[in-house]
Amino acid sequence: MTDTQPRDSDDWALVARARGGDVRAFETLVRRYQNPVIAFCYRMAGSYEDAEDLAQESFVRVYRALDRLTPRAQFTTFLFGVVRNLTLNHLRNGKRRGRDRSAPLGEEDQFLEDSAAGVQPDSAARLSETEDLLAEALEALSPEHKEVIVLRELQGMDYESIAEVTCCRKGTVKSRLARAREHLRKRLTELGVTLQ
């Protein structure tokens, strides 16, 4: 793991202190994981504003769940499980929350439409053309392909952790990752991109 380097015992110690009413212990967890969480949400949701909202809501949910948390496996897989659920629900329900409850939910097109509409070029860090096209290809993946790629390549998680976060089997993670990469490479070829 890179960004989400497991510091399990330390994380759980902070959770225990936060449960006991030490708000600063929770703040340490927020400081530790805010950037990986925002990066995940940004790649999934496509918009920075949405990413920040989702990240904020996720941390609040985690805080609310502290009393019921059990120090099982890694704190990060729990955290990203919450982040991931909120993000997928956001992608699915975006239209419904917009007072249009009759809109079809969970359709692939809906996902693509939502995310394509939300994309905003990051003006602070101009992407190189290759990066731009790669980001575009990633953006176009289905959510279940995108999430395994983002968790693996951007968050540096191993298959076991990805399986925990996405609530599927390790074998499913493996096959989804392979298929997601195939899609990416196919799209990049169509866009005329050669990665060195």
Partner 1 sequence: MNNRHVFDELPAFLDGEAKDAERIARHIEACPDCAREAAALRALSQGLRALPRPEARPGFRGRVMARVAEEAERKREPFLAGRWAHWAVTGVAAAALIAVAGFMATMDNGEDPNGSLPIAAPPPADPANEATPGETVAYEEDWEFAPEWEYALESGVSAEAAEAILVLLLEEEPWLDDMLTAYDTERELDLLLANMTDGEAGAFAMLLADYAEGR
Question: What is the residue whose two structure tokens read 């967890």?
Answer: 29
Q: CB-wise, 130 or 140, nearer to partner 1?
A: 130
Q: In the structure encoding, which two tokens stand for residue 133, read together?
A: 């096209």
Residue whose CB is less far from partner 1, 5 or 9: 9
**Residues in region 86-145 near partner 1 by CB under 8 A:** 86, 88-89, 93, 96, 101, 106, 122, 125, 127, 130-131, 134-135, 138, 142-144
- Of 9, 113, 116, 186, the residue at the interface with partner 1 (CB under 8 A) is 9
Residue 21 CB, shortest distance to partner 1, in Å, is 7
Nearest CA to 18 among 63, 76, 51?
63
Which residue in the set 116, 158, 186, 190 belongs to the binding site for partner 1 (CB under 8 A)? 158
Site pattern 49..88 for partner 1 (x: CB under 8 A):
--xx--xx--xxx-xxx-xxxxxxx----x--xx-xxx-x
187 is a contact residue toward partner 1 (CB under 8 A)? no
164 binds partner 1 (CB under 8 A): yes
Residue 14-53 contact track with partner 1, rule CB under 8 A, x = bound: --x----x-x--xx--xx--xx--xx--xx----x--xx-
